[in-house]
Structure 1
Amino acid sequence: MAQVFQGRSLLAEKDFTREELEYLIDFSAHLKDLKKRNIPHRYLEGKNICLLFEKASTRTRAAFTVASIDLGAHPEYLGKSDIQLGKKESVEDTAKVLGSMFDGIEFRGFSQKTVENLAKFSGVPVWNGLTDEWHPTQMIADFLTIKENFGTLAGLKLVYVGDGRNNVANSLLVTGAILGVNVTICAPEALFPAKELVEMAGKFAEKSGSVIAVTADVAEGVKDADILYTDVWVSMGEEDKFAERIEQLLPYQINMEMIKKTGNEDVILLHCLPAFHDTETQTGKEIAETFGLSEMEVTDGAFRSKHGRQFEQAENRMHSIKAIMAATLGNLFIPKV
């Protein structure tokens, strides 16, 4: 038997086997059950966790903070104004310093290379809380939410509609392919995922038996979907592209008409949040005033419908992050999976 997770970093889902990802999903469900029953699970007693944020966050920061404390660890938040990462100090030097003081490091930022270098030079587990390429901690929560709803993963059809090149689309395509979930990216051709990424997912799909598809046709793409998934149309750092994205992606807005097109009364809706489903935010008001659009990637009706699981999904960020940290840093006995 081997402790296959001990000391490992979670930088991208492609680095983990199907069995390992399934273990993390199931372990997340177990820790969620313990939390609900108020049973202590302090697997990281006395550990110190560095939370390194270049990009702002609600769910990732809150999830890592609460998860750390529940596990008995102390989290320390370092925002972009608190550190010299890449400005006055190299990532390598920063990694060596933080690795000497902390037992684990979370990074949320822009470059995948940064999180890889943190893992390379820190000597401690590093967890990717989001980069421009991948969003692995989100995936464990997403597929936990799906498994809670359907009792299984393999053979389900997940359709991502929207910007098919972003980190969430990348992660869904590859993670789904590894887990045997059929994944369709439904997007305008200009926003299709990179060819290399589709090829990578295809290789995983051959092994798992899943079906991978990329299409611009909404009716064809969403037909028979079990899960509809979307994300904001404009990623952090692309705020000047609202007009362009609205024109490209309005036909891919999740609304009740699209939900009906799935032909599945039990289809669920996922969104990694925040969502522009109304004008109750500053950004929402600005979009409405500038473009005359009160709802973007998802309508308020669809968002609040019986199909929505986005808040369960958001809560599951904490349970899944807890499982990831405990498995890689908690010195648990985990049989080879």
Structure 2
Amino acid sequence: MTRHLLRDDDLTPAEQAEIIDLAIALKKDRWKLKPLEGPQTVAVIFDKSSTRTRVSFAVGIADLGGSPLIISTANSQLGGKETPSDTARVLERQVAAIVWRTYAQAGLEEMARGTTVPVVNALSDDFHPCQLLADLLTIREHKGELKGLTLTFFGDGTSNMGHSYVLAGVTAGMHVRIASPVAYAPRADVVADAERIAESTGGSVTLFTDPDEAAVGSDVVVTDTWVSMGKEEEKAQRLSDLGRYKVTTETMALAASDAIFIHCLPADRGYEVDADVIDGPQSVVWDEAENRLHAQKALLVWLLRQQ
């Protein structure tokens, strides 16, 4: 059966750990594995602008011996006349895998149903599982383990990052806190899915409206932009609603003394995070950005092995 990564809980706890272990190995020996040697081609499709996703997948596919085929939906039939499933049936005869950075989760699910090659969600409106693999890799590098750590996300819990932290965090056995206004809490179905996973991993999900209360004792402090792509018209309202959830030096002082700060980037310094934090000694955002490369290479290797 073809395996895909469309949302974080497509991986079991053991599978998630296996991919992170593989990412650590590939980071130590970058050209160790060449499963795409030939070169085989991987289609990397973009509906949205990108820096880290575009670079890390293109470089990673090349590292694995393959050739990245970068496709913009604005210049393809997928952007208009053709359905995701029809596009998938065309691509599967020519490529080893499909990576798609898009808007609607439903499009990814349709594409995955229509193909026999792995489909990877490189970001959707609902989830960002590739980013979470990189984040978990980064946390493990700096903390030595994941299980039992407390990770607190500040800001828009309805975002793809909020949802992915909830699912991937509990899969790793972490205690995930979401600090947000009630109207920005993660979707109830995502929280329910995470709670089911937590029953077997020992993790947990807790929703807070008080950012200071949520920060106390946190091992990992996280935030993301308050104005995601497609939400630009809501900027003024979002800045007003989320202002008290900015990560500041005071926030970090409430966290554990050895807490680390992560942010998937790009960052709006002065909005969701102060410059003193993201550019400070507890920030590991540049390690996190690099780890997109290693985590995604590991994911592709793992998915291809399932074929």
Q: Aligned ranges for residues 84-95 of structure 1 at < 5 Å?
A: 84-95=77-88
User: In the alignment, is the contact (CA less than 8 A) between 1:100 and 1:122 conserved in 2?
Assistant: no
Q: Cα RMSD over matched residues?
A: 1.3
3-state SS in 2 of match to 1:65: helix
Match of 2:117 in 1: 124
Match of 2:193 in 1: 200
User: In the alignment, is the contact (CA less than 8 A) between 1:44 and 1:330 conserved in 2?
Assistant: no
Match of 1:10 in 2: 5
Deviation at 1:76, TM superposition (A): 0.6
Deviation at 1:208, TM superposition (A): 0.9
* Pair 1:307 & 2:264 matched: no
Match of 2:144 in 1: 151
Q: Distance in 1 between matches of 2:187 and 2:300?
A: 30
Q: Distance in 2 between matches of 1:248 and 1:221?
A: 17
Relative distance call for 1:331 and 1:248 in structure 2 (3 A) is closer
Matched residues, percent identical? 36
* Pair 1:319 & 2:274 matched: no
Match of 1:183 in 2: 176
Within the candidate set 81, 85, 98, 1:105 is matched to: 98
Deviation at 1:330, TM superposition (A): 4.9
Q: Distance in 2 between matches of 1:261 and 1:152?
A: 22
3-state SS in 2 of match to 1:171: helix
TM-score, normalized by length of structure 2? 0.97
5+ long unaligned stretches in structure 1: 1-5, 278-294, 333-337
Match of 1:285 in 2: none
Match of 2:14 in 1: 19
3-state SS in 1 of match to 2:157: coil
Relative distance call for 1:186 and 1:33 in structure 2 (3 A) is same
Q: Distance in 1 between matches of 2:224 and 2:279?
A: 16
Within the candidate set 11, 15, 23, 1:28 is matched to: 23
Q: Which has the higher contact order (CA 8 A, sep 6+)?
A: 1
3-state SS in 2 of match to 1:55: coil
**CA-to-partner distance for each residue in 1:114-154, whole Å, 9 max, x for gaps?**
11111111221111100011111111100000000011000
**CA-to-partner distance for each residue in 1:148-199, whole Å, 9 max, x for gaps?**
0011000000000000100011011011111110000000111011111111
3-state SS in 2 of match to 1:122: coil
Match of 1:66 in 2: 59
Deviation at 1:80, TM superposition (A): 2.4
Match of 1:296 in 2: 271
* Pair 1:272 & 2:264 matched: yes
Deviation at 1:331, TM superposition (A): 6.8
Q: Distance in 1 between matches of 2:306 and 2:193?
A: 32
Deviation at 1:89, TM superposition (A): 1.3
Q: Which has the larger radius of gyration?
A: 1
TM-score, normalized by length of structure 1? 0.88
Q: Distance in 2 between matches of 1:184 and 1:135?
A: 18
Within the candidate set 35, 43, 57, 2:35 is matched to: 43
User: In the alignment, is the contact (CA less than 8 A) between 2:4 and 2:10 conserved in 1?
Assistant: no
* Pair 1:253 & 2:246 matched: yes
